Amino acid sequence: MYSQDCILYRAPIRKPFSLRVLVLVVEDEAMISGFLGDVLTTMGHQVCASAQAEDEAVAAAQHTRPDLMIVDVNLSSGSGLAAIDRISRAGFLPHIPMSGDRATLAARDHAVTITKPFTERNLAGAIDRAMQTSYQPAR
């Protein structure tokens, strides 16, 4: 869980995003999906659903209404990038595309990405950036 005293990565002035985030994990490799679930739970977030395919991800997003999606771009059934596009048609949803191939991530314009393999610190920083960029406080 985030604390006010905890610095997950160095960034001037900004603190880690401290709200509990409901996360949809889209990953077709069970070991990585399990790792993500464990790390997200340790950080104080909640995995509201896991999906292994594009169509499953779209259905899960509609059913669970997550705050954030962490999406493998190369799924064995469908495309993670297509899942992000389809889900985003209903309205913007913060997302973190992930891949072991930096070129795949660089080819699309996403505010936040994560390259496999990643550390817990990398993941925490990506979540913070994704949520900070999308969070707009009431004025």
Q: What 3-state DSSP class applies to 117?
A: coil
Q: What pLDDT sits at residue 54?
A: 97
- Cα 118 from chain centroid (whole Å): 13
Are 93 and 85 a contacting pair, CB within 8 Å? no
Mean per-residue pLDDT pooled into runs of 10, the chain (139 residues) = 37 50 96 93 94 97 96 95 94 92 78 89 92 59
Q: What pLDDT sits at residue 62?
A: 95
**Residue 123 belongs to domain spanning:** 22-134
The answer to whether residue 2 sits within a structural domain is no
Q: What pLDDT sits at residue 99?
A: 92
Q: What pLDDT sits at residue 84?
A: 95
The answer to whether residue 17 sits within a structural domain is no
Q: What pLDDT sits at residue 19?
A: 75
Determine how many CB atoms are found less than 10 A away from the CB of residue 40: 22
The answer to whether residue 28 sits within a structural domain is yes
Give pTM, 2 decimals: 0.81
The answer to whether residue 5 sits within a structural domain is no
Strands 95-99 and 68-72: parallel
The answer to whether residue 90 sits within a structural domain is yes
The answer to whether residue 10 sits within a structural domain is no
Q: What is the CATH number of the domain that holds 110?
A: 3.40.50.2300
The answer to whether residue 37 sits within a structural domain is yes
**DSSP structure class, residue 5:** T
CA angle, 99 then 103 then 108, to 5°: 85
Q: What pLDDT sits at residue 53?
A: 97
- Single-letter code of the amino acid located at 46: Q
Q: What pLDDT sits at residue 18?
A: 60
Number of domains present in the structure of the chain: 1
> Distance between CA atoms of 99 and 108, rounded to whole angstroms?
12
Residue 98's φ and ψ, nearest 5 degrees, are -135, 150
Q: What pLDDT sits at residue 134?
A: 63
The answer to whether residue 94 sits within a structural domain is yes
Q: What pLDDT sits at residue 13?
A: 32
Contacts of 100-107 with C-beta under 8 Å, sequence gap 24+, read 101/74, 104/73, 104/74, 105/73
